[in-house]
Each structure stands twice: as structure tokens, then as C-alpha cells.
Structure 1
């Protein structure tokens, strides 16, 4: 009996691997060499479920340190250089003659030729942040050339190399492991739990699982009694050899009896669809519990291209009283497959219970997902573009007095358990303020822990208006406090002869820093900005003259509050 089960499982696994090969385009396996000459261990996989987006590449670990040489994996030319305090930080794009573009993020520095090209433009435009389209063949690259060194810039949470391969024509990122990037992995994906979703939510149920070899089963019972119509969600992740962190899976399949009922594959996607992750997972469960159940249910506004197959929009309907076999296959890109088998039977007593409809005070409360819509009162205006939602909602709204520090009432716009795919416009009526303070007003979002997120906005005719990408509780505050400027490794009248860098911390109390400028002896200088650490850094060069120098730093927040500090820097030559 055991032998028969093993052979059946092996046969099903082979069928699953065949479906991967058939589903994906064939990519050049030996064209690109590794960008790093160290053993490759991943801290992040392609298509991983990140907050509000799918991960567009792989994150290669760099032994928790910066400075590893990044090598060109093939001939090509630099087509784009992007420098930002956020996102990918220092990022490089190389276009190759085979129709693909490789991308490198969070770099510490570029090679000398690239740095020289970049610095010239930064000084011409007097701006640290750049997004440069480089003329074709202006900076040629040969396979094996040093192109950069690894770092921790931008939104990175630790030293690593973010590596992507994109289609040059469509600009879609593609799973780099499909190009033969060698990452050792013999471990099976992990299945944590599944959830039964019903139409009335009253019969929703979470079920824990247990593991034996590559097979998973339900902990409590093999055969579940379910309503006639239900959908499923699965909490699962991949693990890779020599690492401990949770990674994203490559493919998910669901069979109902012998029928492939649902399948999605993390092979490629467009950046415009990345935020659809919020309907690939069950978003309310994620907000409530932190668990990302990947759901079979396809919401009306879901335009993800990852789906190879889904029947009945992911809803399973049982029309008989027989026991039906359900099987999940969870696969990583190397073909390691975990299976979860369980059985379901219709329970006729679990009929859909009609939910009491919410009282519709105003017809404006019904918001359509696929057309322009609005919600208005005398104190608040909300405008929805088409496809801002994934399904129609009966919008909930409440307003009530806020504490005296606020310049409006609190306005609860729907609830935090419903995701937004596009920004919506929010206008809030403000209390009366002096004309001179109107530009200092801004909308803020108040989280459940009472922390405040600045949403910005512009004042006009008694209202302040901004765009938001989350529902929640909003109000108006005023920001009249200028940013702070604090030198870290020097002070006024410092002898800086032995320093290699000047470091300055800049912070703002509310609305956020939008501009900064540094001049040395009345001439603009490049100070690199590390957003996550609020750090400005100037690498000392020959622009600092012997004797006395004047450094001036000006910082402005989004409400036009400005701080300015000047320092005398002294350079003594032995």
C-alpha cells in the first residue's frame, strides 16, 4: 500500500514538472554568467509576496557586508542609471544584444567610467537623484567587466544584490533562475495551513496541516464537510538550501479529483500589475492576521497575468453528495514539489445564510469597481477612478470630533481591510485658519496604534485635497516646524583634514523632507542622501580648499518650512 502511494505521488509530481516546462517560454540557459563570483544564496526570490507588490528579481546574499565586485554577465551597454534615496538606491541597467536587460539594485558604487558619467550630470543638474537614459553604446560593457560593487543603498534592509532580467521590448521582469543562474536548492516548499472561504463568511475555517516527507495532510481530519460552494486559500512558502528565511514559491496548482482546477506561475509579470498581489492574497486576512493566504478566488477587477488556469473564477461547486479529492501542488523553480491531499463532502445543512444588508443612507455609498465614482458630504469628497477597486463595495463612512490639535473632524473612509489598486482623491473640509497658514495644512492618516502617516495635500476653497492609496481614518494637521540639521562627525570650525567624509543627519517631524541643498564656498556640492537613515554624506575631495571653507546646508519639508545651517570647515596641510 505504501509503495503504491509512493508511485502515484511520483507520477503526479512528474506530471506537475511537465506542466511547468510546457507553461513557460524557453530562455537562454548559458548566455548569462553569474553577476557575483561567490556562492549564490538567496534572501529573496522572484515573485515573492511583498507588501503591495510582487518582487521583481532575486536578492542575492552578500555575507552581510558590502563591497563585492559585480561582474557583467554578458556583453552589452549601459542603458540606464538611476540614483535614489529610496527603492533600488544606486541602480544600473545593462541592455544585451539577445533582447534582455539585466538590472542591479542597492549598489554601493559604480565602476569609474560610470561614476564619471554620472557625476558630470549630477553637478550640471545640481541634483543627487537621477534617472538617466544613456545613449546606445555610450558606455560599452564586455562580459566579465567590473560594473559596480554591492551595497545597501535605497530601501534595502541589509547588504545584498537585487538582480533582475527583463525583456527589452516589454520591460517585463522574468524569473532569473529560468536563465540558468545556479542556486543550490533541494528543499521542499512548506505548507502551513489552508482556509475554506464561503460566500457568507460565517462558515470560513482555517485548517492546520502536518508533514511526512513531501506529503502534507490536514492535522485534524481528512474529510471536510463544506458548503456546496466554496473557495480555498493556502499559506505556503519556499525554503532554499543554506538559508533560513521564508521565500516565495514558483507555482501553485489545485486539482479537484483529477481535474486541474487552478494554477498560477511566477514566471513573468508587468510592473503595472504588481499591485494586484492584493487580490492574489486574501487581503482582509493579511491585515487582520499577517498571514498571506494565496486564494483561488478571482475577484472581478483582478487582471493578473500569472494564471495558467482557473475554473469558475476559483469557486468550487459540489453538485452531489460524494467525497471529492482535493490536491494542492506547491513547487519551487527547481521542481521541488510538496503535496497536500484532503477530501471534501457537501454538507447540505451549510446553506448560504443571507447577510443583513447594510442600510443605504445615500445611493453614493455603493461604489463600483469598474467605473468612475464619487462619495460626497458637506465635509468630505472622495473620487474613485475606474479600476481603483477589485470589486464593488458598499462604502462605510463615519465622522466625529477630533482632539484640538487637529484642524478638522476625524473621517473614517471605508475600512482598512479593503485594498485600493489605484490612488483615490480625498478632500477634507478644514477649520478656519489664517491665510498665512493655509499652505501649512496637510491631510494625515491615523493608524490603529495612533501613529500618523503624512498624506500631503493642497489647500483650496476651504478644503485640502490629496491622493491616498489606503482606506482608513483621516484628519487635517498643521506643520509649521522646520526640519532639523545635525552634523554627526564634525562641528563648526572643525579641522577636517583627517576626515574622509562629512555626515549630516536631517529629519522632519511630520510632513517629510522634499528638498535639500549643500554648497561649499557658494558652489553646489554632491551630498548623497540615504533616506532610510536620514543621512547626508559628502565625500571629501579637492573642492575643499586649504584654509577656511564655508559649508551651507538648506533643508525644506513639503509644507515649505526651511532650515539652514552654516559651518566653517578648516583644512590644514601638514
Structure 2
């Protein structure tokens, strides 16, 4: 009953405030230190937009994390990767706050999590407490900052979402104080010929434009001589005052002769559309040069909801003899801005650089299913795996297949199937499908074995092969030795590793009872906290079993003493 009333309040509240009204005094900061950001909302990441803000924690772990308002814990997730240890708190005003990469939870929440982990005999868990079971009030301690999961350094990943849709919104819209009087930085500007007859500065390919800084801080680009339909792209970033991090832009606006033809901002987006980042950026350029260009125009497959205004998909049709002034303004949420003016002259010129189209024996029709039989290897691409039609490069040699290259973005999983008939049983038992990295080293792919076939599903183009792993994992004690007295030790730690297919599972027992060992794959460490259980024996017999992804297993045993 209480939960139903709570949900009804959320609906009424969100209807009342409207989609674009964000309460600026409803939440406190999650930390009691000045907020300095390592990452901003909507920042361009690999295959996704950043869904929160990353708050620096003074290069250390263990800072107290506080509830930003009254609420109740609705979800707790503990993962080896991703968000690591993450906490979700629903608030009565219709929002949910998210705290991720945590070191540990507050004592009450930690006890709840540990009970679930021991009940499920698993470090990785996802639990949904009953509504009201774990209540919090404003300013109450809920966790401590850490570096768990996919974090590359200590920080707090913080989000504010709609409780109903789980759509994340920019936390800085709620009045959090971040010092920012710094204008966004424009690194580079590009022009794109888009129609079949388009030419820009005698080129049918992307062209980088030179930039001149003006006295007022704006930029003036070199003149563009063009014909046909063209578009522009920018490489840029934003900074706050107290950090050198190159963060993402908040807003972009493009005008032609004073009329807005495209504008988008990062107030909010849905997780379902986040992979469409690969239609906003020039993915091919990223794959070659490791730099992201944000397009000021829309291309096929771009169904992003971030656009506020859009005319002709943000493209400019240039007519011979006509002159145009294009103005692109980059903004941050604090109101700082950077502007670039691009003079465009309609001038029909013969191209010196022709558009390069490499034709192969295989062609992708993006809106249809595509099957390819390469003999020992078969490929299946569902409809809309790709955003555009193109010639795909497919090559197969014995137990290896090359599926194009990483210059084309992939939206959906496709399937690679190897025919394993004729291979020896001993080979197949320890074999798996691997993707070869740039140094031709094999990375394990989840492999489905059915009859005489191995298959995998992936969203990465590249070279795949059948690899074999016959070497079991390695287990080594990290902070103790056999037969050692560990009375004053707070924890027990071991190193586990596997050089090829990777760790699939691990399990530990102490005197025959299952114990929780926290796995940190970034440093290959599993750790047991002695506070978890009261040991009733002086001599403790430890057993750890680690299994890799093809079933090779190693068992480690040791004894120690504790009083």
C-alpha cells in the first residue's frame, strides 16, 4: 500500500513540474568536500554517453558518502566490473540517486549486503530491498568512496535518475556547486561533403578547416568554398576551474545566417539510446586517429533525443553564387561559451580529392538480415546491425576469420559460427573463440558449443580465431604464509590469475565453510575479511578453487593459526 502511494506521488509530482523543471534546492551534495569533476554528464565515452558526473575524491578512497535527501534504498548491485559496488536510493520527489564505485556501504547496508552474499554464496549480487526496509534521511552516511568495478582511479560516480523511467538527468541541473568560469575549448573544425554532388574546398572527403582566434575570444575559420549539401563537425571539450580534465560539452548550437538549424544539449537521455553515440560522432575518424568529432548534423540511424532544434537534419545546402555565415556555439552549464564563425561561399569547383569507395565481394544491406557462408565460418548479421549500407571485407583462412575492421560502428550483436568437424576431441575440450587484439593476442569470447559448431555473439568487428587454453589458473598467497599466526590480521589476501581464457569463477572455504572473498580483477586479488565470521578453531584450513573459462581448475590449500 505504501509503495503504491509512493509511486502515485511520483507520477503527480512529475506531471506537475514538467519535463524541464529541475528542483535546485531539493538535494545536498553527496560529499562534504568541494566538488571537482573528473567527468561530466553526457561526456563521450566508448560506445556510450556518461550517465552521471565523476567527482574527484582527493586521490583516495574511504571518504564518507551521504544521502542527498530522505529516501529508501531500492537497489544494491555488486559487480566485478561496471559500477562495482553501487547503491540506488529513491526519493519522495520522484528521483533516484545513484552512487557507484564504492569501497563499502554504511554498517546497516553492509550487513544487509553481506547476508545476501552469504545466502547466495556469491560476491556478485543484485538485490532489491523491500520498500522502506532500508530508509535513509538527508545527511545520513550511506557508503564510502572507492575504486571498485570499471573505475580507473578513486572517485565517486554520481547520478540522478527519474524513479519511474530510470532516465538519467544531468546532476548539475539540481544546483550542485561546481566552480566553472572557464570557456569550452575548440580543438578542431571539419567540413563534410554529404550529398552525391557535394564538394568542399575541392574535396569529396572530410576537410579540416584552419582556425584563427579573434580578439573577443571567438574563432574565425578559413573560407569554405562548396556546393551541394554539406555539414560541419567539431572536436572540443570543456573544463571546470579546479581541474585539468578534458570533460564533455553540455550544449551545442549551429546557426546559418542567424537561423538555428541544429541544437542539442545533455540535460537527459535514455540508456536505450546511449549506443547511438556512434551516430553523433565520426566513428571512422575515431578508429583511425583516437579523436572524437561531434557532428553538428544527423546521419542515418541517429534517433537521439538530445536535439532541441533541428532543420534539414542540421545540414546546409549550398547553392552556386550564394554566401552563408555558419555560427557554431559551444556552451557549458555555467553559461560559459565559445563561438566559431565559418564563411561559406557557393562555388562549384572540380574536386581534386575524390571520395574513396572500396568495393568487396560482400555487401551489407543494413535494414535486412545478412548471412555469409565462408566455408568453415558462417556469419549472421540481424537487421539494423549497422547504421548504413556498405561493402564489408570478409576473409577466412582455416580457423581464422577477419570481419572487416573497426572503422564501422556496430549497433547490434552479430553471430560468428565455426565448423569444428574434424578437430580432435582433446583440442575442442579446451578450445574457445578468441578475438585477436592489435598485437594479435587472443581475448576470450563467450563461446557456445553445440554439436560440431562453436559460436559467439559480438558487437566488435575484427579478426577471430579458435584458440586453446590448457594451462590452469595460478593461485598465490599475498599477505600470509602457510602455518603462520594471523591473530592480528584484519584480512586474508591471495593473487589469482589466468593468462589466456581468463577467470570464470572462484570459491573459498575456511574449515569447510564457504567464505566471501571480494574479487578485484584490476589487481587480480581476492580478499577475505576476518570480521565476517567468528572462527571457533585456532587452526584454520583454507581451500580456494579457481576455474578459467574453458574449465581448467586449480585448487590451493593452506593452514594458518588464529586466536
Q: Is the 8 A contact 1:299 1:391 kept in 2?
A: no
* CA-CA distance at 1:41 after TM superposition: 0.7
* CA-CA distance at 1:499 after TM superposition: 1.6
2:391 is aligned with 1:394: yes
Which residue of structure 2 lines up, in the alignment, with residue 480 of structure 1? 470
* CA-CA distance at 1:518 after TM superposition: 0.6
Q: Is the 8 A contact 2:73 2:135 kept in 1?
A: yes
- In structure 2, what is the Cα distance between the partners aligned to 1:452 and 1:278? 26
* CA-CA distance at 1:384 after TM superposition: 1.6
Q: Is the 8 A contact 1:227 1:351 kept in 2?
A: no
Q: Which residues in structure 2 correspond to 1:533-548 (within 5 Å)?
A: 533-541=523-531, 542-548=533-539
Match of 2:443 among 448, 453, 459: 453
Match of 1:216 among 200, 218, 240: 218
Partner of 1:124: helix, strand, or coil? Answer: helix
Which residue of structure 2 lines up, in the alignment, with residue 48 of structure 1? 43
Name whichever of 204-213 and 503-512 sits farther off.
Answer: 204-213
Offset from partner CA, 1:328-375 (integer Å, 9 cap, x none):
1100111111101120112311469886865564xxx32222333222
Q: CA 1:309–1:464 in 2, change beyond 3 Å: closer, same or farther?
A: same
Q: Is the 8 A contact 1:209 1:216 kept in 2?
A: no
Which residue of structure 1 lines up, in the alignment, with residue 67 of structure 2? 72
2:29 is aligned with 1:34: yes
Match of 2:123 among 106, 128, 139: 128
Match of 2:457 among 462, 467, 490: 467
Q: Is the 8 A contact 2:227 2:320 kept in 1?
A: no
- In structure 2, what is the Cα distance between the partners aligned to 1:306 and 1:352? 37
- In structure 1, what is the Cα distance between the partners aligned to 2:210 and 2:541? 65
Offset from partner CA, 1:172-195 (integer Å, 9 cap, x none):
000000011111111100000111
2:171 is aligned with 1:176: yes
Q: Is the 8 A contact 2:490 2:530 kept in 1?
A: yes
Partner of 2:411: helix, strand, or coil? Answer: strand
Q: Which residues in structure 2 correspond to 1:110-509 (within 5 Å)?
A: 110-199=105-194, 202-212=204-214, 215-218=217-220, 222-350=222-350, 361=361, 365-400=362-397, 408-430=398-420, 432-509=422-499
Q: Which residues in structure 2 correspond to 1:8-27 (within 5 Å)?
A: 25-27=20-22
- In structure 2, what is the Cα distance between the partners aligned to 1:27 and 1:121? 36
Partner of 1:422: helix, strand, or coil? Answer: coil
Q: Is the 8 A contact 1:49 1:55 kept in 2?
A: yes
Q: CA 1:429–1:104 in 2, change beyond 3 Å: closer, same or farther?
A: same
* CA-CA distance at 1:323 after TM superposition: 2.2
The alignment's TM-score, normalised by the length of structure 2, stands at 0.91
* CA-CA distance at 1:539 after TM superposition: 1.0
Q: CA 1:176–1:435 in 2, change beyond 3 Å: closer, same or farther?
A: same
* CA-CA distance at 1:426 after TM superposition: 0.8
Match of 1:557 among 548, 556, 562: 548
Which residue of structure 2 lines up, in the alignment, with residue 570 of structure 1? 561
Name whichever of 292-301 and 96-105 sits farther off.
Answer: 292-301
Q: Is the 8 A contact 1:497 1:570 kept in 2?
A: yes
Partner of 1:313: helix, strand, or coil? Answer: helix
- In structure 1, what is the Cα distance between the partners aligned to 2:482 and 2:272? 48
- In structure 2, what is the Cα distance between the partners aligned to 1:29 and 1:249? 21
Q: Is the 8 A contact 2:210 2:222 kept in 1?
A: no
* 5+ long unaligned stretches in structure 1: 1-22, 401-407
* CA-CA distance at 1:437 after TM superposition: 3.5
Which residue of structure 2 lines up, in the alignment, with residue 7 of structure 1? none
Q: Is the 8 A contact 1:214 1:337 kept in 2?
A: no
- In structure 1, what is the Cα distance between the partners aligned to 2:448 and 2:262? 46
* CA-CA distance at 1:24 after TM superposition: 7.0
Q: Is the 8 A contact 2:211 2:222 kept in 1?
A: no
Q: Is the 8 A contact 2:204 2:351 kept in 1?
A: no
The alignment's TM-score, normalised by the length of structure 1, stands at 0.90
Partner of 1:267: helix, strand, or coil? Answer: coil
* CA-CA distance at 1:125 after TM superposition: 0.8
Partner of 2:115: helix, strand, or coil? Answer: helix
Q: CA 1:210–1:108 in 2, change beyond 3 Å: closer, same or farther?
A: farther
Q: Is the 8 A contact 2:252 2:264 kept in 1?
A: yes
Name whichever of 488-497 and 170-179 sits farther off.
Answer: 488-497
Q: Is the 8 A contact 1:367 1:374 kept in 2?
A: no
Q: Is the 8 A contact 1:367 1:393 kept in 2?
A: yes
* CA-CA distance at 1:409 after TM superposition: 3.5
Q: Is the 8 A contact 2:262 2:297 kept in 1?
A: no
* CA-CA distance at 1:388 after TM superposition: 1.7
- In structure 1, what is the Cα distance between the partners aligned to 2:287 and 2:358? 23
* CA-CA distance at 1:463 after TM superposition: 2.8
- In structure 2, what is the Cα distance between the partners aligned to 1:75 and 1:258? 47
Partner of 1:420: helix, strand, or coil? Answer: coil
Instruction: Work out the number of aligned pairs and report it.
Output: 538
Q: Is the 8 A contact 1:196 1:232 kept in 2?
A: yes
Q: CA 1:55–1:337 in 2, change beyond 3 Å: closer, same or farther?
A: same
* CA-CA distance at 1:504 after TM superposition: 1.0
* CA-CA distance at 1:214 after TM superposition: 5.8
Name whichever of 446-455 and 246-255 sits farther off.
Answer: 446-455
Which residue of structure 1 lines up, in the alignment, with residue 8 of structure 2? none
Q: CA 1:370–1:222 in 2, change beyond 3 Å: closer, same or farther?
A: same
Q: CA RMSD in A?
A: 2.0
- In structure 2, what is the Cα distance between the partners aligned to 1:168 and 1:383? 38
Which residue of structure 2 lines up, in the alignment, with residue 405 of structure 1? none
Partner of 1:274: helix, strand, or coil? Answer: helix
Q: Is the 8 A contact 1:192 1:209 kept in 2?
A: no
- In structure 2, what is the Cα distance between the partners aligned to 1:214 and 1:413? 50
* 5+ long unaligned stretches in structure 2: 1-17, 197-202
